[in-house]
Amino acid sequence: MIEILDKNSAKNTKTFLLNTKNTTYAFTVLESGHLAHLFYGAKCDFGLDGVKATEGINKYLAGNTISYSSEYSNIGLEDLALEVSTIGKGDIREPQICLTNIDGSTSNDFIYHDYELINGYSSNGYRHLTCMPEAFSGDEQLIIKLKDSQRNIYLELVYTVFEDTDCITRRVRIINKEETFIDINRALSLCLDLPSKNLSMMTFTGAWTREMNVNELKVTQNKIVNSSFTGTSSNRNNPLVILKRKETSDFYGEAYGFNIIYSGNHYSCAQANGYGKARFVMGINPENFDFRIEHDEIFETPEVVMTFAKNGLNNLSQNFHEFIRNHIVRRTWAKKVRPVLLNSWEACYFKFNETKLLNMAKKAKDLGVELFVMDDGWFGNRDNDTCSLGDWDVNLKKLPNGLKGLADKINELGLEFGIWVEPEMVNVDSNLYREHPDWAIQIPGINHSEGRNQRILNLTMEEVRDYLVARIFDMLSSANIKYVKWDMNRIFTDYYGINLTRQKEMAHRYVLGLYDIMRRIVEEFPDVLFEGCASGGNRFDLGILSFMPQIWASDNTDAWCRAKIQTGYSYGYSTSVIAAHISASPNHQTLRNTLQESRFNVAAFGMLGLEVNLSDLNDDQIQLLKEQIAIYKKYRDVIFDGDYYRLSNGEETEFGNCVYEWICVSKDKTRALAFTMQDKAVANQPNAWLRVTGLDDNKKYHFFNMSNKYEIKHFGDLINTVSPIHIKPDSAMHRVIGKLKKMDGEVEDMVVAGSLLNNCGIRLHQNYAGTGYDGDVRFYQDFASRLFFIEEVVDNEND
């Protein structure tokens, strides 16, 4: 609910209160016309007294700070909490908006002019002037209209309130009413000044196959910047940022979360000002950005979403999860659980033909897989990554019956069919490049710096966009294709488009071009499930999720690495958008051996797929996979839209190992799935204590695990403690016995109160500790993990 209070109607000094279910965001118009930020946090009853009590305007200015004007000599912009910031009028903190005016000057002074309130704000999720995505189905929208005190430049601050998820979005429109052009050097979507006491900034950084490492830095007078310059939102610095108090943890304390609905270069910065305030800004990266708008033109920034949570980071993450599920992911797949898929990439890379794919598909069908995905390698002469991107014609040597022939056969097996594409790219060794070298982003006459042997197509050119849309329309109409993995495998270099006069507009115009083609394609094929990908997580953001309902989170499929990566994503992204696959052991990225159990358990906390050559698996592995897929299907609705909590976030335990623990609880609290995983086994570790959260204290639950068997081989030469004859480890005999004799795994099976699971926790079976083993002991090696199932038990009244 948005409330507007009038302090003094003659002076137009209004106060705006933006309330969500649990939060209040407040700002007021000062007599000078500046917008002073009052508060953002847990819900407060303000009233005019509250405004007076929180305004905090100094009577006298400190030392050598600047006084805004002779009329308002006590207003110093350096130490005011502001809703919008520029340069040149005394505010020397991180600016939000920087323009070059007609006269070449860079000072701007935006003063309150008017507002507009839109109840029941409805949006189809895209901006009118561009294809820029925005969150849809907001409750109310407030537009604050400002005008430069000296110039004909208008600024609109757009706030949309999403009450149910405690989220508010913000963006900015710059409107040029000057006689001629102005240049926008910086146009950030949000400026927020908060109390700086004990504030720290969490960022999510990484690299290829190492996405979403969690960092925490204290906010001081030195700037902390989280930005990307890859041309994408990047795996180096994901745009998600959290500001928290020192003492805030997953379960306690206050935190603010921010993310941007944008897939290009982003920027955010936090800095304390030395007067107890910390400024946070977020938007398009101003680096290599300079955008001209002519008379009467408008520049719109991407939308930033912010949330506040009073009860810890799990509370904050859940706000974002709900926001993504209710206001970002749209169309057919928004509320629909995703099919279990088999992807051919790690199973065969470029080496496949129709027979091989069909063999795999048959096996996959028997396992319960629902969708078969043919990854890279099906078009042009694509036997490796040096050629053919751009030539989206099927390779008839590999697939003599074309896409349709293969798709039909896959469908006959009872599976849906999907493909991989990388539309934004071109290899120099391709027909497309030979015909249209000027369609690539590159500087004429200058050596190009290549990435994965490929160049980026210039999506700022309408001709290129139309061509791509037509090709993809043809492709998707040519066969029964129900899924598309849309990849993007290099970062930008040598920014230059032959069509542009102002090259510093390219990075942003590219993103707008990308959104244009994505929108045209996904709207034409609403039932196709699109999955975003950029070498894994190099473009994992809310912009892509506004078009494509899930993203391949990382090219790293190692179970332990994925537990860490998926924990990182969980701070800002719901499990429903994270694609996760079971792959081979040893793993292709780390060469680490992990049990199939662990590989499944981690992938089960995402949108599940397999990425493994099923012909290489033995009968036991196949049987286990079958059971795993069946159990996933039983619980996938819980993973898809349940409430997710981090119970342990990988920090070192008192035993010196690291543990990740998660739980997803169905909305009605009748079912839950819990997960635990350790990196290394610790000798003589007592039985682990598992305490969960989110269950109904007043319900009773059946708590159980998946029954499991372990090969005696894993116990090495300990076999000789029970064998009547000596068995040499790794000998043929050892292997044969290993095959025949399986050890029972522990069985967890109990009915307990929700209050016990939530508030006390339970002791799991004792780990193997070197002194004895039977079915009551947990076989729990390095990188071992467990899934637990929790189901409500309803007492029978006759009992």
Task: Tell me the closest approach of the beta carbon of residue 487 to ligand GLA, in angstroms.
Answer: 5
**Residue 586: is the preceding peptide bond cis (ω within 30°)?**
yes
CB of 368 within 8 A of CB of 630? yes
Task: Tell me the closest approach of the beta carbon of residue 211 to ligand GLA, in angstroms.
Answer: 11
Task: Tell me the closest approach of the beta carbon of residue 237 to ligand GLA, in angstroms.
Answer: 19
Residue in 256, 123, 117 with CA at minimum distance from that of residue 195 = 256
Task: Tell me the closest approach of the beta carbon of residue 584 to ligand GLA, in angstroms.
Answer: 14
CB-nearer residue toward ligand GLA: 157 or 425:
425
Residue in 412, 345, 401 with CA at minimum distance from that of residue 375 = 345
Q: How many alpha carbons fall within 13 Å on the CB side of residue 48?
A: 7
For the chain, how many residues are written?
799
687: Cα separation from own chain's centroid: 35
Write down the residue that tokens 């690495």 correspond to.
561
Phi, psi of 796 (to 5 degrees): -80, 125
Task: Tell me the closest approach of the beta carbon of residue 356 to ligand GLA, in angstroms.
Answer: 17
CB of 89 within 8 A of CB of 107? yes
CB-nearer residue toward ligand GLA: 131 or 472:
472
Q: Which of 552, 571, 640, 779 binds ligand GLA (CB under 6 A)?
A: 552
Q: What's the CA gap between 146 and 152, in Å, rounded? A: 11
Q: What's the CA gap between 503 and 608, in Å, rounded? A: 42
Task: Tell me the closest approach of the beta carbon of residue 248 to ligand GLA, in angstroms.
Answer: 34
Task: Tell me the closest approach of the beta carbon of residue 378 to ligand GLA, in angstroms.
Answer: 11
Q: At what angle do helices 619-641 and 354-367 cross, to 10 degrees?
A: 70
CB-nearer residue toward ligand GLA: 178 or 375:
375
3-state secondary structure of 668: coil
- Residue facing ligand GLA at closest CB distance: 376
Residue 535 near ligand GLA by CB under 6 A:
yes
Task: Tell me the closest approach of the beta carbon of residue 660 to ligand GLA, in angstroms.
Answer: 23
Task: Tell me the closest approach of the beta carbon of residue 337 to ligand GLA, in angstroms.
Answer: 22
Residue 376 near ligand GLA by CB under 6 A:
yes
Q: What's the CA gap between 728 and 652, in Å, rounded? A: 37
CB-nearer residue toward ligand GLA: 573 or 703:
573
Q: What's the CA gap between 233 and 62, in Å, rounded? A: 40
CB-nearer residue toward ligand GLA: 313 or 533:
533
CB of 123 within 8 A of CB of 330? no
CB-nearer residue toward ligand GLA: 135 or 533:
533
Rg (CA), the chain: 28
Q: What's the CA gap between 747 and 730, in Å, rounded? A: 29
Task: Give the range of 262-270, 532-540, 689-697, 771-779 binding ligand GLA by CB under 6 A.
Answer: 532-540
Task: Tell me the closest approach of the beta carbon of residue 207 to ligand GLA, in angstroms.
Answer: 13
CB-nearer residue toward ligand GLA: 416 or 487:
487
Footprint of ligand GLA on residues 391-420 (CB under 6 A)? Answer: 420
Q: How many alpha carbons fall within 13 Å on the CB side of residue 718?
A: 11
Residue type, 477: S
Task: Tell me the closest approach of the beta carbon of residue 375 to ligand GLA, in angstroms.
Answer: 5
Phi, psi of 504 (to 5 degrees): -80, 5
CB-nearer residue toward ligand GLA: 291 or 379:
379
Residue 536 near ligand GLA by CB under 6 A:
yes
Q: Where are the beta strands (DSSP E) in 199-276?
A: 199-207, 210-218, 224-227, 237-245, 255-260, 266-272
Q: What's the CA gap between 161 and 18, in Å, rounded? A: 7
Task: Give the range of 95-103, 531-539, 562-570, 747-755 binding ligand GLA by CB under 6 A.
Answer: 531-539
DSSP assignment of 697-725: TTSEEEEEE---EEEGGGGGGGGGGT-SS
DSSP assignment of 500-518: -S-GGGHHHHHHHHHHHHH
Task: Tell me the closest approach of the beta carbon of residue 389 to ligand GLA, in angstroms.
Answer: 9
CB-nearer residue toward ligand GLA: 489 or 585:
489
Q: What's the CA gap between 290 and 462, in Å, rounded? A: 21
Task: Give the range of 145-153, 160-168, 529-537, 748-756 binding ligand GLA by CB under 6 A.
Answer: 529-537
Count CB-CB contacts under 10 A for residue 315.
23
CB-nearer residue toward ligand GLA: 363 or 382:
382
Sorted by sequence, the CB contacts under 8 Å of residue 612 that are 6+ apart come out as 346, 347, 582, 583, 584
Q: Which of 79, 94, 109, 375 binds ligand GLA (CB under 6 A)?
A: 375
Number of residues that bind ligand GLA (CB under 6 A): 12
Residue 224 vs residues 98, 194, 241: alpha-carbon distances, Å: 20, 15, 11
CB-nearer residue toward ligand GLA: 254 or 376:
376
Write down the residue that tokens 């000296």 correspond to.
150
Task: Tell me the closest approach of the beta carbon of residue 536 to ligand GLA, in angstroms.
Answer: 5
Tokens at 760, concatenated:
């006390």
Q: How many alpha carbons fall within 13 Å on the CB side of residue 212?
A: 26
Q: Which of 360, 533, 595, 607 binds ligand GLA (CB under 6 A)?
A: 533
Per-residue x/- track, 471-490, ligand GLA (CB under 6 A): ----------------x-x-
Residue 235 near ligand GLA by CB under 6 A:
no
Task: Give the range of 79-87, 252-260, 528-536, 788-796 binding ligand GLA by CB under 6 A.
Answer: 528-536
Q: What's the CA gap between 452 and 680, in Å, rounded? A: 35
CB-nearer residue toward ligand GLA: 288 or 386:
386
CB-nearer residue toward ligand GLA: 385 or 450:
385
Q: What's the CA gap between 743 and 737, in Å, rounded? A: 11
Residue 610 near ligand GLA by CB under 6 A:
no
Per-residue x/- track, 327-366, ligand GLA (CB under 6 A): ------------------x---------------------
Footprint of ligand GLA on residues 675-704 (CB under 6 A)? Answer: none
DSSP classification of residue 765: P
3-state secondary structure of 788: strand
Residue type, 446: I
Q: Which of 322, 391, 531, 555 binds ligand GLA (CB under 6 A)?
A: 555
N-term to C-term CA, the chain: 49
Q: At what angle do helices 559-570 and 596-603 cross, to 10 degrees?
A: 20
Task: Give the range of 306-314, 533-541, 601-609, 685-693 binding ligand GLA by CB under 6 A.
Answer: 533-541
DSSP classification of residue 757: I
Please identify every residue annotated as catalytic.
Answer: 487, 555
Residues making contact with ligand GLA (CB under 6 A): 345, 375-376, 385, 420, 487, 489, 533, 535-536, 552, 555
